[in-house]
Amino acid sequence: MFGSLLLTSLLAATPLKIRVEVLEVGSTTKGVPAAKVTLRETAESSQQVPRELQAITDATGRAWFEVPHLGFEPVEIEKERYVTRAEMKPFRKEAGKLESMQQRGGAELFWQVWVYPRSQWKFQMKAATEAQAVALAQEWGRECGPSGPTKVEYYEPGATWTVKYPCLNVFVDAKNGSTMLQVQKPTTGTPLYPPADALQDALSSPLEFLARLQSDPHDVPQCAYRNQTVFVLDDYCTKKEIHSTGITVIHPQRGTAHFYAEAKSPISTTRREDWDHWHFETYDPYPGASISMSWAEIDKHETRRRRFQDAVCWASLTSQQGGSCTNKTEDIKQGWPGIYRSMLKQPPETWFALVRALRRLAENNGKADPRGESQNPVMPATAPLTRSDGAGRFGIIVEVEEYYTVKPVVGAKVTLRDPTGKNPELLGLTNARGKVRFEAPHLQYELASIDHPSILSFAELAPIRDLFKSIDTRREPNGEDEIKLEQSVVNRKWLDANMKVRTAEQAVQIADTWGRACGGKPTRVTRPYSWKVEYPCVVVHVDTWEGDGMDPTVQKLTPDEVSARRLYPPEEALADALASPLEHLGTGVWPGRYKIPSCAYRNDKVVVLDSFCTLREMNPTTVWIFNPERGTVVFSARGDRGALVSKVKRDQYEQWGFSTLEPYPGLKLAMTFSELTSWEKRRSVFSRGSCGAALATSASTRGSCSLKTPEIERWWQGYYGPLLEDAPSEWYELVKRVRALAPRYGKKDPRDE
């Protein structure tokens, strides 16, 4: 039966089989021939010294073993130019999954084992040896002097080398060669590089283009420049300005300053009150930099700076505290608020001048945004945001946008209420960007209402509010003595177009397809996020948004009963399917499938369903045979190593199985495809009794029954074995017939589109 496959045996009363397939890492089809495979008896299976078995893989990379029990597992694979298991042992976790075991009943195991070619292993493990780890660590260790490491240790569970130096420790990842440092970072009193000075330095003389940086084609490109004083990095060097702007200014002696602003429109054309983010930070200089360095050199120097020191002062629009310093002395910390507060509230003109200068340069040096235009919507131009109501010293900006579409709501009437009741309400209308500004006596005001003809009011939204995600008011700091309230609102037309089931009556109409089997009306209808319709025998969950466009989730409540009814023998189902020509009934998506087309046919006795009815044959193949009086039989096969089922026989199947299901009332040969799928949805909920068998299964036997009497179980145990071992000729003929019909009635595999 196994042709030229190599068999290695131990004498046993009832031989059991283990198949080992050796493949190259990253492949499911490239077998490794002439490899020596060693199986070893597991400790729990061995009463004495564990036995070992060895075999050589054949031309397809497979070896067969006959064993006295299944308690053996592969422990070594040996072949020239491949890494052995012993060599990989310290790095097994990092090497990834290298074995897969599939139990095929109680008589057979199928192991797939992957091996690394040595040429690939050196790229998989960048620091497999101590020498490789030290070479990578030395880039940082030289900071401690020329003496080299004092100690090197390997930690196997984490696959990490620890390389110790007098002044620091370097942790080297054995797999990817990345490094982490353990070093005491000092608190410094080095004078700050004021962000305003950095902006002036960047504008002090013309910028010279150095490099365009884009390590991945999906990343937003960066552009590096230099003038007589500083290096400047434009983080978003796109041909067309987008809504994010990031700029880094590096002064070799004074330090590094970074700026970032984000809005819903280009920063050069919007004002600070329309920005969603605005922050900046300034870092200490790191010794050794020079304005004459190339960009690659200064970039590497900046990497070392970040590793060895993190003394920084920062400020952020969205931070409640406004700004702070880390690893700086107290005098620096105390002086920082005087530097950042005015700049956080209103960026200097030099910021806008630098943004415009870099935009002009990006027109020549930049590239298109790889994310596309949809990632950068542009808000309409509008007048400066001025006070709408109130006379306090605290600023409150309210931004109103539509739920899901994120479009600004123009002309909405916004009402703020003082929760203490001590102050009158504040009223205002949103501008073209959906914003309105108030000046209040404190920041604890709350949104009382937002009114506009096109949107639901808070009162109208309340009964269905649980159906929306992230619709609560978002309260964010927006600089000193100011907050921003962001509120999503629901557009009436959008809701009508997208929410299919808004009432209990609509939910019951959909649920009754299943509920009518209970012989009565629903006992309760509730809506915890989706509609829950309860009947005496089932609970039906109806999706509020999709309605009848999505199959409900149905939970059967009545207990399952054991049945003595005889089942439809699979071989007889095949004979019925071949008894007369098949007539096309319809093509569509079968319940439980996702877009994959299925084709239904009928003859004088049965309905036949080709579950994977694609123009180009797929692997696997599944065929259903429905007999109105006798029941349903399902056959499924998968070709080994991707082989098409119509082209191979049973001994080249990776999987082969079949099941026979009890008949369910209501099936008619004259049904349309739509009627057949509706019937199948009900059958899958209410019909349970079945018997099945499969080549690959974790059960102790390859065949078993569910909700059938012992008599039916005994019949099945005596029936399925020969059919599982060797598929009948009728199966091959049926597969040939449905595949011949598929080019005419099938559809393109949606995964090919």
At 122 the pLDDT is: 83
**Whole-structure pTM value:** 0.68
Radius of gyration of the chain (CA): 36
Task: Measure CA 434 to chain center.
Answer: 33
Amino acid at 480: E
At 121 the pLDDT is: 87
State which residues of the chain have pLDDT below 70: 1-14, 28, 45-47, 105-106, 374-375, 377, 697-700, 753
Of 338, 341, 238, nearest in space to 280 by CA: 341
At 719 the pLDDT is: 95
At 7 the pLDDT is: 35
Which uninterrupted H or E stretch holds 302? helix 295-308
Of 174, 180, 181, 161, nearest in space to 127 by CA: 174
> Alpha-carbon distance 213 to 19, whole Å?
51
Strands ordered across the beta sheet of 607-610: 583-589, 597-602, 607-610, 621-627, 631-639, 653-661, 690-694, 703-706
Of 93, 63, 250, nearest in space to 158 by CA: 93
Number of CB atoms found within 10 A of residue 550's CB: 13
CB of 409 within 8 A of CB of 455?
yes
At 735 the pLDDT is: 97
Q: Is 23 helix (H, G, I), strand (E, B) or coil?
A: strand
Non-local (6+) Cβ contacts of 123 within 8 A are: none
